[in-house]
Amino acid sequence: MSETTVKKFNIDTVANAAVTPDVELPWAELGLKQNEFDDVVKVLGRRPTGAELAMYSVMWSEHCSYKSSKNHLRQFGEKVTEEMKKDMLVGIGENAGVTNLGDGWAVTFKIESHNSPSFVEPYQGAATGIGGIVRDIISMGARPVAVMDPLRFGAIDHPDTARVMHGAVAGIGGYGNSLGLPNIGGEMVFDSVYQGNPLVNALAVGVMRHEDIRLANASGKGNKVVLFGARTGGDGIGGASVLASESFDSTKPSKRPAVQVGDPFAEKVLIECCLELFKGSLVEGIQDLGAAGISCATSELASNGDGGMEVELTSVLLRDPTLTPGEILMSESQERMMAVVTPENMAAFEAVMDKWAVEYSWLGEVTGTGRLIIKWEGEVIVDVDPRTVAHDGPVYDRPYARPEWQDALQADTFTGSVQDAGRPATPDELKAAMLELIASPNMCSKEWITNQYDRYVGGNTAMAFPDDAGVIRVDEETGLGVALATDANGRYTFLDPYHGAQLALAEAYRNVATSGAVPMAVSDCLNFGSPEDPDVMWQLAEAIRGLSDACMVLGIPVTGGNVSLYNQTGSTPIHPSPVVAVLGKFDDVARRTPSGWQEDGQAIYLLGTTAAEMDGSEWANMRGHLGGLPPKVDLANERELGEILINASRDGMIDSAHDLSEGGLAAALVESALRNNTGARVALDEVAARDGVDIFTLLFSETQGRAIVSVPRSEEVRFNDMCTARRFPVSRIGVVDAAGAALDLQGLFTAPLDELREAHEGTLPKYFG
């Protein structure tokens, strides 16, 4: 130390903590409960130092420790058959799961929430959500190849929704577009339940060769620990723990300083720099810095390794020199990575850093002590067993019970309700209903959003929104590729959490199969209210049970994900919103099936049957009704439909396919027509008679397990034979009419495509400019 350097802080060392047991510590302000603080003292055998307290408080937060959900999440690991494990190269617990694609390729994907920061500061919250999930993918050794963003905001006409919408969409675009990652899909749902708790989820997918898989562990005594990327600043201190682990309350001061600020340029450089490190096999273990920053990275790397770790905290490069050791440990500054490098590779590592002009600092090394030691100017301020920080946090068996209002809610069906009065029946009424549906906030065109995202960069985007799934080519030689879809329906899950979660999985599975890909793996982002509310805890427990059961039936494992709790304003939680992402595989993406009609004269077939299932539907939602039971889940049927769609794609029997989900057949017909501006003549009487439903129900019911496909004349016999052989209901409902420029529902009404387009595309610009 030079003579002019002045000690900035009174450093609370381990030695000091041992002799001053009675010092008051701000554990409650840092979010720890009394019993948790007592546990820390018990684990350490003394009071924690200030720095240790900072580490435990962030790592034992709900966001980092999953303390309320852990007991339930176990089912994702337990309800797995050997068959399901076959292609899983890395399972739950690492930064992201890895699935075998064949030919030596592997794919890793994960979905995460960045909900609370996106409400406080929508642009940065959403931007850093993309940044964080992309770093998780890089940490696995993969090149990120695409992102998706499921969004749920408040009522479309609420003044605050525009603030969140403009900020979050610009943030996702501003960050994602600058990384060179195509944005290939997502969701946009408006519902007043999300007014004070918008959901901003982000998914990233990456690909790698099997030999490039990297894990977050610090092994090999004497190996060096390095922190690289952006400098550490005061942004996002306690972001994850503070923001994501409690409910918003207007009486508390603004939490803006807890939101991280993103620098996409730094992230882009970091991506290329990391890939060059992987290519040269220059790192032994690697971990991104996200929630809980250096606390998380050091404790996870050390606890997953075979020894311990010792680092000098004053070596961390800072943006703000006034940060205290605790703040440095907790800072969630973005665009940082930590790696373990052998002494022999240090020079080569530094050369890569210099090439990309990335800053780095060597913090310390892997030891054989089994302890995580953190020093400040040589004095020990942290001396812990890293497992106690990273893995042995508190686990709660939160009480849960079926809400007493659940029965009354399920008994309140839409059919016969006040809101159901005057159900459309005449041709004019049905046409008006269709126009109203496709212009409604949740069913309208999302182009206003998606046009702000780059879907082309990389040159491997075979499909993107508004097709059913995003499709990315992995190998240019063979056409090997992946499909991804995300889905959730908060209303269904509110009505019945067990089946609602299964419906989200069923729809994502169906979307992937509709594109022609074989579903392989699942990642989920479980967005719920406060786990301290037994009603919410029941919703969470039921959703996890439902989702894990359904994964078993469909034979696809959950490989990772994230839980976001405390999404509630005061005592009002959001609808339980398990967002489910399904990943599928193509042997050759050239076989992918787009959603829009293309060729004049092709036959349009409806797969599946329709029942009167209006509860929780978009139509009921538009009429202000929410009650009853969601559509029935029939996973065996979904699997059968999936196989038909996949085989039809592989064998070239169909030219387009679109699944039926929210908005039912009405929405699917309009979307298939508008995709390529290609009309059709459709006759519904026969199929309505077969299913015993009226035309309104046929058009607007949300019965699952259905899709429409267009079949070239030459393939009709083969296609029909396949469906018949599988005893799957199929009905020819129309023919593509490219010249007609209209959707002609014969005997009912004709809707010109221009009229449909104006209704479908006008809504978001009307509200958001």
Partner 1 sequence: MSETPLIGGATLAPIDSRLAGARIGVVTFPGTLDDRDAARAVRASGATAVELWHADSQLGDVDAVIIPGGFSYGDYLRAGAISRFAPLMSSIVDAANSDAKLPVLGICNGFQILTEAHLLPGSMIKNDHLKFLCRDQVLRVENNTTAWTNAYAAGQDITIPLKNQDGQYIADEKTLDALEAENRVVFRYVGMNPNGSRRDIAGISNAAGNVVGLMPHPEHAIENGYGPGHTGTDGLGFFTSALNTILGGK
- By the rule CB under 8 A, 758 interacts with partner 1: no
- Among residues 266 and 444, whose Cβ is nearest to partner 1? 266
How many CA atoms lie less than 13 Å away from 373 in the CB half-sphere? 19
Q: Which two tokens stand for residue 603?
A: 């036959």
Closest of 300, 481, 273, 458 to residue 384, by C-alpha: 300
- By the rule CB under 8 A, 261 interacts with partner 1: no
Alpha-carbon span 515 to 646, nearest angstrom? 8
- By the rule CB under 8 A, 473 interacts with partner 1: yes
Catalytic residue among 114, 499, 658, 760: 114
Alpha-carbon span 115 to 117, nearest angstrom? 6
- Among residues 178 and 197, whose Cβ is nearest to partner 1? 178
- Among residues 233 and 326, whose Cβ is nearest to partner 1? 233
- Among residues 141 and 531, whose Cβ is nearest to partner 1? 141
Least distance (Å) from partner 1 to the CB of residue 172? 10
**Residues numbered 190-209 forming contacts with partner 1, rule: CB under 8 A:** 207-208
Q: Which two tokens stand for residue 311?
A: 């680092």
Could you tell me if 370 and 387 are in contact, meaning their C-beta atoms sit under 8 angstroms apart? no
**Binding residue for partner 1 (CB under 8 A) from 338, 462, 482, 488?**
462
- By the rule CB under 8 A, 333 interacts with partner 1: no
Least distance (Å) from partner 1 to the CB of residue 182? 10
Stretch in the footprint of partner 1 (CB under 8 A) among 268-276, 643-651, 720-728, 741-749: 268-276
Alpha-carbon span 660 to 654, nearest angstrom? 16
Task: Mark whether 72 is an active-site residue.
Answer: no
- Among residues 19 and 357, whose Cβ is nearest to partner 1? 357
SS3 347: helix
Stretch in the footprint of partner 1 (CB under 8 A) among 229-237, 361-369, 398-406, 470-478: 470-478
Could you tell me if 580 and 638 are in contact, meaning their C-beta atoms sit under 8 angstroms apart? no
**Binding residue for partner 1 (CB under 8 A) from 676, 720, 731, 750?**
676
Alpha-carbon span 286 to 270, nearest angstrom? 13
**Residues numbered 284-323 forming contacts with partner 1, rule: CB under 8 A:** none
Distances (CA, A) of 262 to 233, 236, 249: 12, 10, 26
Helices (H), 516-573: 534-554
Least distance (Å) from partner 1 to the CB of residue 474? 6
- By the rule CB under 8 A, 351 interacts with partner 1: no
- Among residues 63 and 143, whose Cβ is nearest to partner 1? 143
SS3 23: coil
Give the single-character DSSP code of 235.
T
Alpha-carbon span 52 to 23, nearest angstrom? 14
- By the rule CB under 8 A, 145 interacts with partner 1: yes
Least distance (Å) from partner 1 to the CB of residue 455? 6
- By the rule CB under 8 A, 106 interacts with partner 1: no
Closest of 683, 671, 688, 501 to residue 612, by C-alpha: 688
| Beta pairing partners, 519 | 584
- Among residues 180 and 394, whose Cβ is nearest to partner 1? 180
Could you tell me if 27 and 53 are in contact, meaning their C-beta atoms sit under 8 angstroms apart? yes
CA angle 606, 604, 616 (to 5 degrees): 35
- Among residues 469 and 589, whose Cβ is nearest to partner 1? 589
Least distance (Å) from partner 1 to the CB of residue 175? 11
- CA-derived radius of gyration, the chain: 27
- Among residues 356 and 767, whose Cβ is nearest to partner 1? 356
- By the rule CB under 8 A, 466 interacts with partner 1: no
Task: Mark whether 210 is an active-site residue.
Answer: no
Least distance (Å) from partner 1 to the CB of residue 208? 8
Q: Which two tokens stand for residue 411?
A: 């008994």
Total residues in contact with partner 1, by rule CB under 8 A: 45
Least distance (Å) from partner 1 to the CB of residue 126? 14
- By the rule CB under 8 A, 639 interacts with partner 1: no
Alpha-carbon span 465 to 221, nearest angstrom? 49
Alpha-carbon span 519 to 586, nearest angstrom? 9
CB neighbourhood size of 182 (10 A): 24
- By the rule CB under 8 A, 99 interacts with partner 1: no
Catalytic residue among 63, 72, 575, 658: 63
**Binding residue for partner 1 (CB under 8 A) from 23, 377, 456, 754?**
456
- Among residues 321 and 459, whose Cβ is nearest to partner 1? 459
**Binding residue for partner 1 (CB under 8 A) from 123, 349, 360, 453?**
453
Least distance (Å) from partner 1 to the CB of residue 599? 13
Closest of 605, 757, 613, 765 to residue 682, by C-alpha: 605
**Residues numbered 486-545 forming contacts with partner 1, rule: CB under 8 A:** none
- By the rule CB under 8 A, 454 interacts with partner 1: yes
Give Dmax over CA atoms of the chain in angstroms.
93
Contacts 24+ apart (CB under 8 A), 400-407: 400/534, 400/535, 400/537, 400/538, 400/540, 400/541, 401/534, 401/535, 401/538, 402/538, 403/534, 403/535, 403/538
- By the rule CB under 8 A, 138 interacts with partner 1: no
Distances (CA, A) of 229 to 331, 350, 523: 14, 12, 28
**Binding residue for partner 1 (CB under 8 A) from 255, 455, 499, 658?**
455
Site string for partner 1, 158-187 (x = CB under 8 A): ------------x--xx--xxxx-------
Catalytic residues: 63, 114
Binding site for partner 1 (CB under 8 A): 143, 145, 170, 173-174, 177-180, 207-208, 263-266, 268-269, 275, 279, 355-357, 450-463, 473-477, 589-590, 594, 676
